[in-house]
Amino acid sequence: MNGSVVRQLILKDLYLVRWLIVGAIVAGIPALALMPASGLTSYVGGVSLICVLIILNIFLVMSGVVQERKDKVLLFALSLPVSSAQYTAAKVIGNAIAFLVPWIILTVAAIVVIDATRMPNGILPFWITVLVSLLLYYCILLAVGLVWDATAAHVSMITAGNVSVNFLIAFLLGLPSVRTNAESQTAVWTADIITILGIELAAAVVILGTAVYVRSRRGDYV
Amino acid sequence: MTEPVIELEHVEKSYRFFRLSDVCLRLDAGQIMGFVGPNGAGKSTTIRILMAMIRPERGTVRVLGHALPREQAAAKRDIGFVSEDMRLYGHATLAWHMRFVASVYPHWDTKYADVLLRRFNLQPDQAIRHLSHGERAKATLLLALARRPRLLLLDEPTTGLDPVARHEVLTELMDVVQDERRAILFSSHNTQDVEQVSDQITFIDRGRIIDTSDKETFLDRWRRLHLEVPSGVTLPQLAGSVDATVSGHIAVVTTQAYTSDLEGAYERAGVIVRTVQRMTLEEIFIATVMHNRREHAA
Amino acid sequence: MHSDLVISHADRRPMYLQIMEQIRRRIAVGDWQPGRELPSIRALAASTRVSVITVKRAYFELERDGVIVTRQGKGSFVADSADLSTKLRREELDERLAAAADLGRLLGMTPDEIAGRLRDAMQKKEQEEGER
């Protein structure tokens, strides 16, 4: 009987952010369309795609998690027949689905665009690494949102996150394996790229998992 | 003897600038308890502990026979919670909220919900953010009442409501306890409302329960005596007297232990008793808090 | 079984006394006949918006005064005493005389002075009756 309350909470959260999900997918399409173009246009398309996912990330965490706590709307959710652990689980799952749906769609679309168009497939490892880093960024922001109340913590995190994404992109573009294979028609998965991908995915799981654990241990939800 | 609906024993909770200490509370089925205290006294904290939103450091919490926080989901299945600072989802409508709550609770009474919509004069298709404060308060109350929960925990349900809305809310609350298996705990600043509908009354100040009793005993025990103390006579300090204001020959004594032979006791001491006044709950509450604070400062 | 009792906040008397008085009045004027069933305590509490404990007390005191009778599991009923109306009226008189006594004391009057004023009031009433 309780599983259904969790399901209702998740569906409720998805319903409330439905336009964000659709908007992210819709905004990502022109960005993807620009990527196969040459020079500056391609660059603008790529940056726009990254921006769309970062903006989605920020909105989902801030309005879905942080604001709900600030506005005391969570009192309504907590008054439902759920344990606080179930509420946290529902929040994380619902919020994550809201991010993952557009992220998966846009990532798959990016792969298709890179593969099907004149874009060199050699750039694929770079793009996958960048897109997965955005997934990591989301997990970090969600983790911070679950654990900390102060807006200052979130703003600092968002600033640090954006700067880090820039640094990561510059770093990746500077890697010899990326540079040499950028123009080739086949994707080459070198060890360093795979290592970075592995670190990103592992970090995402560990950070989010730790935050959920810390949140559940805390007794006070208001 | 049925199990109490609420049982708090020696509950403690510390914050940086505030401490809830040794809170003991008991509410039986069929009763309404009024929870009265100044701002910051700990009313909301106590109610949230009953909802497992806050975990106390010490003490036991049992609600509807369930131990909290372990069995909170089971307990909350039959509790209706309304808090003055609670918000609903601003962009959704009241109808959406009603559907949502109905999908989560099997006991949603659609007919009663419609009656309440009319009685509270609410438009279900309006977005929550467009409702006035009073309408939002009534909407939140509707969502709790229409489920017919066994226990209602209401944190300031009538605060900020106009007199007509208050009247309607009190009517619905009194209707709830026609079923003697149900109970209500509500906190309020409005001592007149508390005095009118409560069976049990609990006073809280600065994190401590300072008095709890049934309403009639409260109103019976407290009196204000207007006395004349002739020259040469000393005003006796009788047990239960909480305050004595003396100016010249006139003395006003507030007592919390009034009995029918209190006047006699004063008269035997040579003091003339002019009037014996009953006190409103508000006067009793203020006298209790002041007396308690003086005692603690000493 | 709608009772239409109304509790006033402006009336400074305790609520249970107000309830008792209104029930007594209905019995005294004959609207509530002996043997008639009273509303259940909880129903009356809900209709007057007054706490259950207060209504319980009112019923308890009325039963102690012999005005109503409670049968276990069945409810409360207006007592069958033949001279109940008179009994109630006498009780009301006693209450008012007690109030008059209080006022008199406040004014510093002696029992004789108060009795004198009562006599004046009764004579005045008789005169008014005679003039009609």
Q: How far apart are CA B116 and CA B247, in angstroms?
A: 54
Q: Under an 8 A CB cutoff, do C46 and B198 touch?
A: no
Average pLDDT of chain A, as a whole number: 88
**Predicted pLDDT at B175:** 94
Q: What is the ipTM of this complex?
A: 0.88
Does C89 share its domain with C112? Answer: yes
- Kindly state whether residue C21 falls inside one of the protein's structural domains: yes
**Predicted pLDDT at C84:** 63
**Predicted pLDDT at C1:** 46
pLDDT digits (tens, 9 = 90+) for C100-120: 988 998 888 988 889 899 999
pLDDT at residue C132 is higher than 80? no
**Predicted pLDDT at A152:** 83
Q: How far apart are CA A121 and CA A117, in angstroms?
A: 9
Q: Which residues of B touch C42 (CB under 8 A)?
A: 30, 177-178, 180
Does B108 share its domain with B245? Answer: no
Does C55 share its domain with C95? Answer: no
Q: Which long-range contacts (CB under 8 A, 24 or more apart) does B66-72 make?
A: B69/A83, B69/A84, B69/A219, B72/A83, B72/A84
pLDDT band at C92 (very low <50, low <70, confident <90, very high): confident
Radius of gyration of chain B (CA): 22
Question: The CATH number of the domain where B197 resides is what?
Answer: 3.40.50.300
Whether residue B95 lies within 8 A of chain A, CB to CB, comes out as no
**Predicted pLDDT at C86:** 64
Within 8 A by CB and 6+ apart from A166, the residues are none
**Predicted pLDDT at B122:** 94
For residue C92, what are the domain limits? 84-131
**Residue B73, min C-alpha distance to chain C (Å):** 30
**Predicted pLDDT at C42:** 94
Does B170 share its domain with B25? Answer: yes
Q: Tokens representing A194?
A: 């795979």
Chosen from B77, B86, B107 to mutate, greatest number of chain A CBs within 10 A: B86
Query: pTM for this one?
Result: 0.84
Place of tokens 């609670």: B86
Q: Under an 8 A CB cutoff, do A222 and B77 touch?
A: no
Beta strand pairing call for B6-14 and B19-27: antiparallel
Q: How far apart are CA B201 and CA B185, in angstroms?
A: 10
Does B120 share its domain with B243? Answer: no
pLDDT at residue A95 is higher than 70? yes
Does C41 share its domain with C91? Answer: no
Report the sign of the C-alpha dihedral through residues B266, B272, B278, B284, in that order.
Answer: negative
**Residue B133, min C-alpha distance to chain A (Å):** 15
pLDDT band at A2 (very low <50, low <70, confident <90, very high): low
For residue B140, what are the domain limits? 6-218
Average pLDDT of chain C, as a whole number: 86
Q: How many domains does chain C have?
A: 2
Q: Under an 8 A CB cutoff, do C52 and B170 touch?
A: no
* Residue after which a domain boundary falls, among C78, C102, C122: C78
Q: For B178, name the nearest residue in chain C, comparing CA atoms only.
A: C42
Does C30 share its domain with C56? Answer: yes
Within 8 A by CB and 6+ apart from C15, the residues are B196, C7, C50, C54
Does B59 share its domain with B202? Answer: yes
Q: How many domains does chain B have?
A: 2
- Residue A5 amino acid letter: V
**Residue B9, min C-alpha distance to chain C (Å):** 25
Q: How far apart are CA A148 and CA B294, in angstroms?
A: 40
Nearest to B181 by CA among B25, B28, B8, B26: B28
How many helical (H) and strand (E) elements, i.e. helices and strands, does chain C have?
5, 2
**Predicted pLDDT at A36:** 86
- Kindly state whether residue C7 falls inside one of the protein's structural domains: no
Scored b (16 or more CB within 10 A) or e, C70-95 reads eeeeeebbbbeeeebeebbeebeeee
Q: Under an 8 A CB cutoff, do B86 and A16 touch?
A: no
pLDDT digits (tens, 9 = 90+) for C24-45: 989 888 888 888 999 999 999 9
Does C36 share its domain with C70? Answer: yes
Whether residue B87 lies within 8 A of chain A, CB to CB, comes out as yes
pLDDT digits (tens, 9 = 90+) for A49-77: 999 999 999 999 888 877 777 777 888 98
Whether A and B touch, i.e. at least 3 CB pairs below 8 A, reads as: yes
Does C104 share its domain with C124? Answer: yes
- Kindly state whether residue B1 falls inside one of the protein's structural domains: no
Q: Under an 8 A CB cutoff, do B53 and A84 touch?
A: yes
Question: The CATH number of the domain where B271 resides is what?
Answer: 3.30.70
Which residues face B19 on adjacent strands?
Answer: B14
Could you list the mean pLDDT of each consecutive 10-residue stretch along chain B, which spans 298 residues? 89 94 96 95 95 94 94 94 89 93 91 94 93 92 95 93 91 94 94 95 96 95 94 89 91 93 91 93 95 86
Q: For B31, name the nearest residue in chain C, comparing CA atoms only.
A: C52
Does B144 share its domain with B260? Answer: no
Of B32, B174, B216, the CB nearest to C16: B216
Q: How far apart are CA A132 and CA A136, in angstroms?
A: 6
pLDDT digits (tens, 9 = 90+) for A152-201: 888 888 999 999 999 999 998 888 888 888 778 888 888 888 999 999 99
